[in-house]
Amino acid sequence: MRTVNQWLGEYGESHRDPTNKLLHWICVPAIVVSLVGMLWSLPVPGAFREISPLLNWGTLLLAAGVLYYFAMSWSLALGMILFVGAVILAILGLQQLPWSLWVVCLILFAAAWVGQFIGHHYEGRKPSFFKDVQFLMIGPLWLLSFIYRQLGIRY
């Protein structure tokens, strides 16, 4: 298994252009929120609702993601828990809009992916996930690792 530094280094190789970086700061969180929001909208078994109104396919994806991050770096995984909280708050906010959550998230998802591909056009390189689908999970971690480096937090 690759180390977190290997994953982040390889991801960073195709994310050097300033425009691409900026678009990733906007689009990666938007993709996560929209994907989780679409899964959040799917019907769940009654047993889920009995446990918690927040237990759904979206929160299960978030939990699986945090477990994946713990396998790479405890420090970054703890930071991702904060990100997960922000994602949940964003979805709760989107639910307050007058439109269906899944419709809002579908539009957001499509727009964010357009942004990603525009960024990679400026970069002149294909998105990393074309090489390995696991890079879809590295995008949020890559952003968090930048914050950690700015704050002097080791991972």
Give the global pTM: 0.94
Res. 1: pLDDT tops 90: no
Averaged pLDDT of the chain: 96
Count of alpha carbons within 13 angstroms of residue 49, beta-carbon side: 5
The pair of three-digit structure tokens given for residue 35, joined into one six-digit string: 């994907």
State pLDDT tens for residues 90-132: 999 999 999 999 999 999 999 999 999 999 999 999 888 888 8
Q: What are phi and psi of 44, to 5 degrees?
A: -120, 155
At 130 the pLDDT is 87
pLDDT band at 14 (very low <50, low <70, confident <90, very high): very high
Task: Pick the closest to residue 36 from 76, 12, 75, 66 (CA basis).
Answer: 66
At 132 the pLDDT is 86
